[in-house]
Amino acid sequence: MNAAPYPVVRLRPKAEARALRHGFPWVYSDELVTDRRTRALAPGTLAVLEDAERRPLGLVAVNPASKIIARMLDRDVGAVIDREWFARRLERAQALRTQLFDAPFYRLSHAEADGLPGVVIDRFGAAVVIQPNAAWAEAHLDTLAQAVSDVTGAEVLVKNGTGRARGLEGLAEETVALRGTLDGPVPVPMNGATYMADLLGGQKTGLFYDQRPNHAFAARLAPGARVLDVFSHVGGFALAALAGGAERALSVDASAPALELATQGATAMGAADRFATRRGDAFDVMAALAEEGETFDVVICDPPAFAPNRAALEAGLRAYERVARMAAKLVAPGGYLVLCSCSHAADLTRFRAASARGIGKAGRRGQIIHTGFAGPDHPVLPQLAESGYLKAVFFRLTE
């Protein structure tokens, strides 16, 4: 029985309802009965999901244009998705973060893992960036933004409507201030370093909080070291290393604006004299550094997702192997190599194997001393492997 004024959508007879009952949050397009009525639903429409025997499973958001045709919002089919509903989930998410961090700089919502499917929210002190990466979140953005404001007290709210996920949902790209104004990049204190986050023009939400614990571990290797940070963005590992006592750090990235923000961060933390940048394609720059005979005590490579999906997995693994091979040649004897992947399609075992092959092909040998993942403000939904995407493998090269 439909307990609320929502349309009803139904699983196909052979679809697996058990996974949904046990917490899996998605229904794929080939699992749902897509008759003319279902196909006519506007992207983001709320509906009651039933199994093939017409037993209710929960309240979902439907997008007939997406491969993920339905996202579970609430087990209560009579739930009302209003400001109070959003506020309850945001308050629960914020309670975890305030227990973990002593300053309001963190990921506030990690989408499905925080009960807000497709909704990424990063907090930067008095400013908050919302990424509505699913059609239902776009449709409810005003209500969501009000709840974010009420819960956080944020003076500035930014909608960052960019990225691959929105394209898969059929959503247009748009980045705009929803309320308040920004005078420039926002300084973000993290691991003793200062990062400059461009909330309106930067990549993603302006800063990657997920690497925070891996930055901290790398900083433990940094005292007195020469550090190379490849695919540096706004100076992630390099600035953490400087805060940890590195002798000097070099950031490499293809983006001039990102490197400028990294330089501003180094200046803000009083480390500009120990910091340098080099703009260019990461592979070209690593090749040039090798030709110049440069070596570093700590080399970190944190590339973009080379394997964003299964179709790209094999090519992505070859790219990770190439990164490892080129980077290993730049590590001084007894030094450290940190290799990262944010590709959920490349699991830890396959990524680690590709990295080890690359190190071996460079004529180097080593030991793994640490494996890191995303910080606790990026919780993992156990039923959804995609929510645990980040890997960072720390090697000590012994030969």
- Residues marked active site are found at 342
230's tokens: 């490849």
Measured in whole angstroms, the distance separating CA 97 from the mean position of its chain's CA atoms is 16
Taking the C-alpha atoms of residue 319 and residue 80, their distance in angstroms, rounded to an integer, is 46
21's tokens: 């009952």
Rg of the chain over Cα atoms, rounded to whole angstroms, equals 22
For 26-29, which contacts have Cβ atoms below 8 Å and span 24 or more sequence positions? 26/68, 26/70, 26/71, 26/72, 26/117, 26/384, 27/60, 27/68, 27/69, 27/70, 27/71, 27/72, 28/67, 28/68, 28/69, 29/64, 29/66, 29/67, 29/68, 29/69
Task: Write the CA distances from 391 to 58, 111, 341, 388, integer angstroms.
Answer: 33, 19, 5, 9
Measured in whole angstroms, the distance separating CA 290 from the mean position of its chain's CA atoms is 31
34's tokens: 């897509």
